[in-house]
């Protein structure tokens, strides 16, 4: 995972949803901008039972 992203899944969730709300139109845009593979983030957030909702553009 990108060294700039939080390693703790709960903090990552907050960071990610804030960025999706304020800067990125989609999870794919976030991943491209941060040069990170989507699977790495989704696996990390699955540990705390969160998954991406495309309609809401956030992890829920």
pLDDT tens, position by position, 2-56: 668 999 999 999 999 999 999 999 999 999 999 999 999 999 999 999 999 999 9
Q: Is residue 24 part of a domain?
A: yes
Q: What is the pLDDT of residue 1?
A: 60
pLDDT category, 57, cuts 50, 70, 90? very high
Total-model pTM: 0.90
Q: Is residue 4 part of a domain?
A: no
Total number of domains in the chain: 1
Cα separations (Å) of 58 from 14, 28?
10, 12
Q: Is residue 20 part of a domain?
A: yes
Q: Is residue 3 part of a domain?
A: no
Supply the range of the domain harboring residue 43. Answer: 9-59
Q: Is residue 1 part of a domain?
A: no
């Amino acid at each position: 995972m990108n060294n700039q992203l939080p390693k703790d899944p709960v903090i990552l969730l907050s960071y990610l949803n804030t960025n999706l709300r304020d800067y990125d139109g989609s999870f794919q845009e976030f991943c491209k901008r941060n040069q990170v593979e989507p699977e790495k983030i989704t696996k990390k957030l699955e540990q705390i039972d969160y998954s991406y909702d495309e309609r809401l553009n956030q992890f829920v």
